[in-house]
A and B are shown apart, each in its own frame.
Chain A
Amino acid sequence: MTHESDTLAAPSRRRFLATSTALAGGLVIACFVPLGSRKLFAQEGAAPAPAPMDPNAFVRIASDNSVTVLLKHSEMGQGVWTSIPMVLAEELDCDWDRVRVLNAPNAAVYSNLAFGIQGTGGSTSTLECFDQMRMAGATARAMLIEAAARQWQVEAGNCRTERGFVICGDKKASYGDLADAAAALKAPANVRLKDPSKWTLIGKPTPRLDSLAKVNGTAGFGIDVARPGLLVAVLARAPVFGGKVKRLDASRTRAVAGVVDVVQIPRGVAVLARHTWAAKQGREALEIEWDNGAGASLSTVAMRKDYRKLAQKPGLIAREAGNIEAALKSSRKRVEAVYEVPFLAHAPMEPLNCTVEISEAGCEIWTGTQFQGVDQGVVAQILGITPEQVKIHTQFLGGGFGRRANPVSDFIAEAVQVAKAANKPVKLVWMREDDIRGGYYRPMWVSRLAAALGKDGMPSAWTHTVVGQSIAAGTPFAPMMIKDGIDATSIEGAADSPYLAAIPAVRIDLHSPESPIPVLWWRSVGHSHTGFVVESFVDELAHAAKTDPLAYRRQLLPAGSRNLKALELAAREFGWGKPLAEGHAAGMAVHESFGSHVAQVAEVSVEDGRIRVHRVVCAVDCGPVVNPMTVEAQMQSAIAFGLSAALHSEITFKDGKVEQSNFHDYKVLKFDEMPKVEVHVVNSSEKMGGVGEPGLPPIAPAVANAIFALTGKRLRTLPLSMA
């Protein structure tokens, strides 16, 4: 770990250091990281390679008894800045009020154990490092006890700890006083973890540790980074994906006051200036003739037609049981439907940005990223240096939602290319228009489903053809995520739907058409469409069978299943079946993703043709809970994010160009549209799941199903529209 001092010296951290003491000294816990052979993703063939057994530092104890946790994950709103230190602090038995958090540097020891590289995503954070953080805390505690025992010449076994002190009889020493001695000890190979019944912090509603910095304006986001001599750059990208500069005249740009340089990189023309405004003005003054290439004729209207046509025939088989054609043909009642969802931008509130300084020693990056482990390799390749020469100073992320986990590190690569071409330190900033028009998008998807219903109204056959671009194709992730031509993320939530277990004839198949449009995981990834499609279609079947949607799901879902328990809880808390206000109706959905099971019941009305969502009752079974406040916040957050997509957002292309540009035409959920969300957590000792994403998939179908209950109109296209 050679980067720590650099990270600690980063400008955004200075304020903190000024109020702390002796952070550089004291105890640096070295501990062995046990690596399980977890397999969090179905598409993951092998367990991640074990990280090197470097000594690593997750916790520091200063002489003033303050505890600093080095966070390997990126805080993007999901609450890891609080929940992960809670896990470590539980075992360390320190004073929670003295816990501070710093972003860890980039290094192999900080790898996400589910990914094998450093990164935050897939709703993995808390669950992938839960044991690791407990071990780190317990190891530190054992070393502090050992230091005290040696000092007092007593048995370690006779010592106990309490809120940052080691105690033995009438002897008492603070962790801070013991830190130096403990640091000189060898870390024990085995430490005993607390019995869960003794937990006092894990499971306790705990306020966020990053609140103050985020209400007084001091939280350091990537876009706020200031460095001596740093120039701001904005990039003119081709209006059509795949386009290239044919002719460039930058003379008017160079005349703009504040503009310092203009450089060309593969994706376009960068204007470097003393401040953002000049860079933006300079970009507007560029005269560029683009060669738009093959993408210039692309339109989503035509693509949708092609997708619908493709959906009429089977694609590559992802799952098959029984004879689906025969079962559909011989059925007495058949239900068919086509669902469509559009391309979506992530549109995090903080536009993408990246600060780069290149020196003889290597390259330093300041940015909000979800993918340090990928980024350092991309940067190294661009500059012809080693990944170890790339130092990433992770900042707070002003939203991520998947956009800041890019397999080719697009926004970081661009910034490095600009800094290299200009030979100057640069902060590349995306304008909102760049964010909406510059990629990467949640893929557009079309789904065709057909089911046969038996005499009892239950499905005897179910087929689902999915059409949409592969996210992994063409990226370094392809070998891991694509098996036999099937990108697992395209059909997750469809091919593994729990409804299918009881159905004798099943076929799930996939078409993965290609296009120049860059696509990416977007909060809940494939589930963001399959949740909508499957839960809407089940609702259609329930109505075709003239059965209450809750009763129908009770029959279809395995008794005692986590989905069903969550659904029952949400229905009960909502008051399913009880009369609602005049003009209101309710719909439900339940979906498993990222190891968690979430059910939602939504109450809606239609006012002047506009869908209003008044109330959402959400029940979640995510297994053991670290911070109930985080779980509640993430459910509320995913519902709001999902409602943006359910009600408003859509990226469309015409003549190869994105038609939207900013929040006036790429609409997202506004303040007065936020429903009252009530979150209920299932008391569960099942396997721990994630919470960042699983709250999203059920909201669109819950709303669409409620609209059907209210109006009899089945809305099968997102964003939902009564028109």
Chain B
Amino acid sequence: MKLDINGRQHEVDVPDDMPLLWVLRDVIGLTGTKFGCGMAQCGACTVHVDGQAIRSCVTPASSLAGKKIATIESLGIDGSHPVQRAWIEEDVVQCGYCQSGQIMSAVALLAVKPKPDDADIDAAMAGNICRCGTYQRIRSAVHRAAELSRENGNDA
């Protein structure tokens, strides 16, 4: 099957029921997207499909032909994306394992709500678990990312 991931075409030969998560991690080698639960309960595997945040651990790759998939790697390696910058400035991360998923959920939120309030953030981030308890700083970072995006001319 053909997959459009981060703007690149990938031809993969995998079973139809194989979730996107394992195609990304084990076949293509994009390991920024994390495995946490395998049943859409923790959000560690969050990626975008046509701009929407989805849980890649329960989404068969075969259902994504012709769609645009974006992973944490699409935000760039230098940390200059407004959401990455906000995360760094707020010193959000601890173990860091859940943060790819947290960030992808936040990016998707800001794309539809450039100026989210706390309730918007609660709703958008409700499916992302962090065992280190960085929630409070994530909340601050989402607000900051919204500001940074506005300063940057809204490229989040």
Q: Which single member of A79, A213, A674 contacts B135 (CB below 8 Å)?
A: A674
A676 within 8 A of B: yes
Interface residues of A in 170-225 (CB under 8 A from B): 207-208, 210-219, 221, 223-224
Q: Are A275 and B26 in contact (CB under 8 A)?
A: yes
Q: List the B residue with the shortest CB-CB distance to A643.
A: B133
> What distance in Å separates the Cβ of B83 from its nearest Cβ neighbour in chain A?
8
Cα A348 to Cα B79 with chains together (Å):
25
**Other-chain residue from A276, A432, A637 in contact with B22 (beta carbon distance below 8 A):** A276
Nearest A residue to B100, CB-CB:
A217
Q: Is the CB of B136 within 8 A of A636?
A: yes
What residues on B are CB-neighbors of A670 within 8 Å? 126, 129
Contact check, B131 vs A641: say whether CB atoms are below 8 A apart. yes
Q: Are A398 and B97 touching (Cβ within 8 A)?
A: yes
Which of B38, B79, B125, B126 lies in contact with A216, CB distance below 8 A? B79
A216, B32: Cβ atoms closer than 8 Å = yes
Pairwise interchain contact A215-B88, C-beta atoms closer than 8 A? yes
Q: Is the CB of B65 closer than 8 A to any CB of chain A? A: no
- A677 near B32 with CB under 8 A, answer no
Q: Is the CB of B133 within 8 A of A641?
A: yes
**Distance in angstroms between the alpha carbons of A549 and B100 in the assembled complex:** 43
Q: Which residues of the other chain, B, contact A401 by a CB distance below 8 angstroms?
A: 131
Interface check B31, CB cutoff 8 A: yes
What is the chain A residue whose CB lies nearest that of B98? A349
> In this assembly, does A566 line the interface, its C-beta being within 8 Å of a C-beta of chain B?
no
Contacting residue for A396 out of B96, B100, B133, CB 8 A: B96
* CA of A275 to CA of B79, assembled, Å: 30
Task: Give 1 or 0 for each of A658-674: 1 = CB within 8 Å of chain B CB.
Answer: 00001110001111101
B131 touches A672 (CB 8 A): no
Neighbouring B residues of A278 by C-beta, 8 Å: 15
Within A667-715, the residues touching B (CB, 8 Å) are: 668-672, 674, 676-677
A211 close to B91 (CB less than 8 A):
yes
A78 and B94 contact, Cβ closer than 8 Å, known pairs A216-B72, A275-B27: yes
User: Contact mask A258-292 → B, CB, 8 Å, 1/0?
Assistant: 10000000000000001111101100000000000
Contact with A along B65-79 (1 / 0, CB 8 A): 000000111011111
Residue on A nearest B88 in the bound complex, by CB: A211
Which interface residue of B95, B125, B126 has the most chain A CB atoms within 10 A?
B95
Tell whether B103 is near chain A: CB-to-CB under 8 Å. Answer: yes
User: Are B99 and A671 closer than 8 Å at their CB atoms?
Assistant: no
Partner of A671, one of B34, B38, B96, B122: B122
Other A-B pairs, 11, CB within 8 Å; known A208-B91, A431-B38, A671-B125: A215-B87, A217-B73, A218-B77, A223-B34, A277-B22, A281-B15, A633-B94, A662-B37, A671-B138, A672-B122, A674-B135
B binding-site residues for A, Cβ under 8 Å: 14-15, 18-19, 22, 25-27, 29-39, 41-42, 44, 71-73, 75-79, 84, 87-88, 91-100, 103, 121-122, 125-126, 128-139
Question: 5 smallest A-B Cβ distances: which pairs?
Answer: A217-B32, A640-B133, A398-B97, A214-B96, A77-B94
Please give the residue numbers on chain A whose beta carbons come within 8 Å of chain B beta carbons, in ascending order. 75-79, 207-208, 210-219, 221, 223-224, 226, 232, 257-258, 274-278, 280-281, 347-351, 396-401, 429, 431-433, 629, 633, 636-641, 643-644, 662-664, 668-672, 674, 676-677
- 28 contacting pairs across A/B (C-beta < 8 A): A77-B94, A207-B88, A207-B91, A211-B88, A211-B92, A212-B79, A212-B88, A215-B92, A217-B72, A217-B73, A221-B34, A257-B15, A274-B26, A276-B22, A276-B35, A277-B26, A278-B15, A633-B134, A637-B133, A640-B135, A641-B132, A641-B133, A643-B133, A663-B37, A669-B135, A671-B130, A671-B138, A672-B126
